[in-house]
Amino acid sequence: MKVLMFGWEFPPHISGGLGTACYGLTKGMSKIDNLEILFVVPKAYGDEEKQTIELIGAGNIPIKVTKLGINAPWVKKLEYIEANATLIPYATPEEYFKLTREKTEGRHQFIHQDEEGYIQFSGKYGKDLFSEIYNYSIVAAKIAEQYDFDIIHAHDWLTYPAGMAAKYVSGKPLVVHVHATDFDRSGGNVNPDVYRIEREGLAAADHAIAVSNLTRNTVINNYGVHPDKVTTVYNAVEPSKVKNNGTRDSNMDEKVVTFLGRITMQKGPEFFLEAAKKVINRMDNVRFVMAGNGDMMQRMVERAASMNIMHKFHFTGFLKGDDVFKMFHHSDLYIMPSVSEPFGISPLEAMQSGVPVIISKQSGVSEILKHAIKIDFWDIDKMANAIYAMLNYPSLSDTIRTKGQKEANNLRWEESAKHVYNIYKQFVN
């Protein structure tokens, strides 16, 4: 069975959980016999792939097929395709308008619209996002013509149009994978254009995969998708690169409580801050760290200052790569107070690193975790109570640390991949 898979980002160039999840899932799937994956992204960066780039020109759209240079056995099964990175951009919004309007007239019309036959992608979230999404779908249609495959799999709304185009051209079944909806990202203040794309993608799909029951319910209730058409497949976590037996890398007598993620409304940073204040009022040997950045950062700094706790509350700014693991290593407790979290892989990474976690009940991952404290994101008192208990009753944090580490290490992408494969089999004979 061959899968044509559309993603938006791929490690190491990732800006969020989507890339991590795609990477983990495809890696898990590569272990399944008789399953091949063609993975398509809008842009490959060429920093690590250069030596193995292979160009396949076809029709008027130049397409590069990239074999990833990562030295891992599973990569052999993955063909990594990207549109040529040196493409000439379309010039005006009118062009973009023409392009999209033509879409309804037939697949070949796409191609002719661009005089040069090239389409530019940045692969980043930006202001031309919508045009990029549609351009991606044009290339997708072309790829669908050129390659043989049995099923199409599109990750999140950015790639739904690509998936739909590929389905349109090939007539092959389409599975869309919902990692998040705009209800999660916007906190209910939904962007109508994004919503439309999500809704169209879900309607066009033969089946949808949601990363949690929480997300599945959103898909059913807010997008009008029949429950039989949506299956929950939980994410997992890559085996930890850093070995950690739970001993903390700090000579401080103080306990460190960490929030790590985008400082945006979706992640609930203000609840973390308010709970921190309550704990600081009751105990002395504790520090709170808010790692990350985002549009609420300034507000959080101001609030912390006005509460007069800046001597105990620290902002690190954006952390990447190994710094994340270092941060875990310095932490006694990790908190994810997300207001709406379709899944949430980062607590699993914390648990792997031997850090006990407190997570909000409004997260998909709370549906599968047993060895974590679960609270409502708005329940600051309960959050503070749980933080206090974790720092003051040693057997609690010890138990959650050891049992949680085991639990996180048992969540394998191979299992998620098998689950996805079983869904494919319903549509492919």
Partner 1 sequence: MKHICLYFQVHQPFRLRNYSFFEIGNDSYYYNDFLNESILQKVAKKCYLPANEVIYDLIKKHGNKFKVTFSITGSALDQFELYAPEVLESFQKLAATGNVEFLAETNGHTLASQVSPELFKSQIKEHSERIKEYFNQEPKVFRNTELIYSDEIGREIYNMGYKGMITEGAKHILGWKSPNYLYYNTLEPRLKLLLKNYKLSDDIAFRFSDHGWEHHPLTADKYANWLSNLDEKEEIVNLFMDYETFGEHQWADTGIFNFLKEFPQAVMNHSDFTFETPSNIIEKHQPVAGISVPYPISWADEERDITAWLGNDMQNEAFNKLYELAPKIAHITDDDILQDWDYLQASDHFYYMSTKWFSDGEVHAYFNPYVDPYEAFINYMNVLSDFTIRVKQNVPDNTDNKQIEALNDLMIKKETEINELKVKIKKLQEQNRKLKEKENLMNSSNSKNNAGNKVLN
List contacts with partner 1 (CB under 8 A).
278, 282, 370, 373-374, 381-382, 384-386, 388-389, 392-396, 398-400, 403
Output the smallest distance, CB 406 to partner 1, in A: 12
Closest distance between partner 1 and the C-beta of residue 373, in Å? 6
Peptide bond into 12 cis (omega under 30): yes
Measured from the CB of residue 277, what is the shortest distance to partner 1 in angstroms? 12
Q: Which is nearer to partner 1, 78 or 383 (CB)?
A: 383
For every residue of 397-413, DSSP letters joined together read HHHHHHHHHHHHHT--H
Phi, psi of 337 (to 5 degrees): -95, 35
Distance between terminal CA atoms of the chain? 9
Closest CA to 133 of 103, 108, 112: 103
Strand partners, 10: 13
Nearest to partner 1 of 154, 400 (CB atom): 400
Would you say 195 or 388 has its CB closer to partner 1?
Answer: 388
Q: Which amino acid is at 271?
A: F
Given the complex with partner 1, which of 256 and 375 has the nearer CB atom?
Answer: 375
Looking at the Cβ atoms of 97 and 393, the one nearer to partner 1 is 393
Least Å from the CB of residue 318 to partner 1: 32
Q: Are 218 and 198 in contact (CB under 8 A)?
A: no
Of residues 233 and 387, the one with the C-beta less far from partner 1? 387
The DSSP code for 292 is: B
With H, G, I as helix, E, B as strand and everything else as coil, classify residue 83. Answer: strand
Write down the least CB distance from residue 283 to partner 1, Å: 9
To partner 1, the closest distance from the beta carbon of 286 in angstroms equals 13
Q: How far is the CB of 303 from partner 1 (least distance, A)?
A: 20
Which residues does 274 contact at the CB level (< 8 Å), separation at least 6? 380
In DSSP notation, 348-408 reads: HHHHHTT--EEEETTBGGGGT-SSSEEE-TT-HHHHHHHHHHHHH-HHHHHHHHHHHHHHH
Q: How far is CA 48 from CA 44, 70, 71, 251, 256, in A?
A: 9, 8, 11, 38, 36
* Chain centre distance of CA 417: 16
Nearer to partner 1, 15 or 410 (CB): 410
